[in-house]
Amino acid sequence: MSRLQGPSSLKRKQPDSNSPLHSLSEQERTVYNVIKSKQDMGIWSRDLKRETNLPDNMVTKCIKTLLTKRLIKEVVTKNKGKKHYMAAEFEPSKEITGGNWYVDGSLDTEFINLLKDQCAKLIYKMKVATSKGISDAIRRSGIFKVEFTSQQIEEIVRALVLDNKIEEVTSNGMGEFDYIPVGKVCYKCANKEGRGDPRIGAMASIPCGVCPRISECSPDGVISPKTCVYYQKWLDF
């Protein structure tokens, strides 16, 4: 059979008479086309009125009809004062909903605090961890049913640093940092005693107590308390 079709193939496909689009008025179709063109970002009702250049009452009436026909949907954004409308086939972008941090346009502080608490507990358990290590541990724990991006975990970690729950440190590749590349930014609990842990001995509480090169340290040597940045930080603390 020839791959060339007869004249009938050039006929434009007739719209489905059962489709809700078939019964739209000219104004309703104009409003629908503008909303659909915004895809997963949707459009604010005021912007919709401006772009369609239709009277306010006409746009309002068209929106009600399109909602009734389920051709569009109303999306709650992180800016609760704004109503966004979106074609029914699109899922709203996290840029307008706020992602996991928001529920019905409101910041979900309970959820955020729960995640912060779990991150702090994991860091305490791991003693020191990178943001990726924290993210992986959260995923493996199975506590949350949602997936977090690396950026979201970093936001939580930064919040914990500001809350003085954890501190940001740089790996020196030794001791508790032996599995973390030198120079890599990582995190550890800022105050273990504040979490109800038993008080640790005086020697163990200073860097010297856990330094793997303590045997090479001497007052006038290459490795010396005078030049040790970790010892100086402990004194300053």
Quote the number of domains for the chain: 3
Q: What is the pLDDT of residue 234?
A: 53
Question: Cβ atoms within 10 A of the Cβ of 19, count?
Answer: 11
Average pLDDT over residues 70-85: 76
Q: What is the pLDDT of residue 201?
A: 41
What are the tens digits of pLDDT across the range 90-112? 877 666 666 666 666 566 778 88
Same domain for 50 and 102: yes
The CATH number of the domain holding residue 99 is 1.10.10.10
Q: Identify whether 183 is part of a domain.
A: yes
Q: Identify whether 4 is part of a domain.
A: no
Which residue, of 80, 107, 134, is where some domain finishes?
107
Q: What is the pLDDT of residue 215?
A: 61
Average pLDDT over residues 205-223: 61
Q: Is the dihedral of CA 19, 42, 45, 27 positive or negative?
A: negative
Q: Identify whether 159 is part of a domain.
A: yes
Average pLDDT over residues 45-72: 88
Three-class DSSP category at 185: strand
Least-confidence region, from 16-30, 66-80, 160-174, 218-232: 218-232
Q: What is the pLDDT of residue 163?
A: 86
Distance, CA of 71 to CA of 235 (rounded, Å): 67
Per-residue CA distances from 150 to 12, 135, 182 (Å) = 48, 7, 21
Q: What is the pLDDT of residue 187?
A: 92
Average pLDDT over residues 31-53: 86
Same domain for 128 and 186: yes
Q: Identify whether 163 is part of a domain.
A: yes
Average pLDDT over residues 130-143: 88
Domain of residue 63: give its range.
20-107
Q: Identify whether 137 is part of a domain.
A: yes
Q: Which two tokens mark 196?
A: 């109800």
Q: Identify whether 91 is part of a domain.
A: yes
Amino acid at 33: N
Phi-psi region of 157 (alpha: psi -120 to 50; beta: other; left: phi over 0): alpha
Q: What percent of the chain has pLDDT over 90?
A: 3
Angle formed by the axes of helices 109-126 and 131-141, nearest 10°: 110
Average pLDDT score over the chain: 75
Which residue, of 107, 134, 151, is where some domain finishes?
107
